[in-house]
Amino acid sequence: MPIPPFTIDGVLPPYVGPDGPGGAFDEMSPYVVTSVEVVATLGTTDDRKTILRGWLDHRAALRAIGFDRGFQWLDGSFVEDKDPKDVDVVTFLYRPSGVQSSTDLLNLMKSNPSLFVHHQVKTTFRVDFFPIDMNASPEVLVSLTRYFCGLFSHRRVDELWKGMLQVRLEDDTSDAVAFALLIPDPTTSIAGATP
């Protein structure tokens, strides 16, 4: 399903369709979309495009060290009708092959601080990054999912219920197309006319 339009309150709706919140899975948040849809729909300003380039770069860097399976929830002010400072991303990651234990995972994360240390990721990529280990115990996964769903499914200032987006991490082909959409065409002028 395509990204639904913002509500009159400037947020993604928490659900669409005639059946309300008990309707079909694809009519409820988080909406499953591609990175191309995210860029085409939400890359509406230069600053938003810069944030999206950072998000795509961070995704590529995660895949480069073996985190090539999972999905991300996009939320925060970036998926609202306003000028965001970053994009909030809850990332559900499957461990790379060869990374079996929590200690192995922690060592891999520590050896890549620019991809996992919260303030470094936010500064470098403009991504407010929250990783979740999909190989953790089921109880931990349920607890973390409940926490982040509760945190990000409501706007902080007025507790308005709102939607999120979900993007697969494996989709590097879509990411390449999305990134190309963010690069200005050097054959056109600012006004869009061919020089």
Q: DSSP for 150-184, please give it.
A: HHHTB-TTT--B---EEEESS-HHHHHHHHHHHSP
What per-residue confidence (pLDDT) applies to 195? 39
pLDDT tens for 66-85 read 999 999 999 999 999 999 99
**Six token digits for residue 145:** 């999912």
pLDDT tens for 97-150 read 999 899 999 999 999 999 999 999 999 999 999 999 999 999 999 999 999 999
Average pLDDT of the chain is: 90
Mean pLDDT along residues 187-191: 44
Query: Edge to edge, what strands does the sheet with 31-33 contain?
Result: 31-33, 165-168, 70-75, 87-93, 127-133
Q: From CA 181, how far away is CA 24, in angstroms rounded?
A: 31
What per-residue confidence (pLDDT) applies to 176? 93
Residue 50, pLDDT above cutoff 70: yes
Q: From CA 99, how far away is CA 106, in angstroms rounded?
A: 10
**Six token digits for residue 112:** 């890549």
Percent of the chain with pLDDT over 90: 79
pLDDT tens for 167-186 read 999 988 999 999 999 987 55
**How much is the pTM?**
0.90
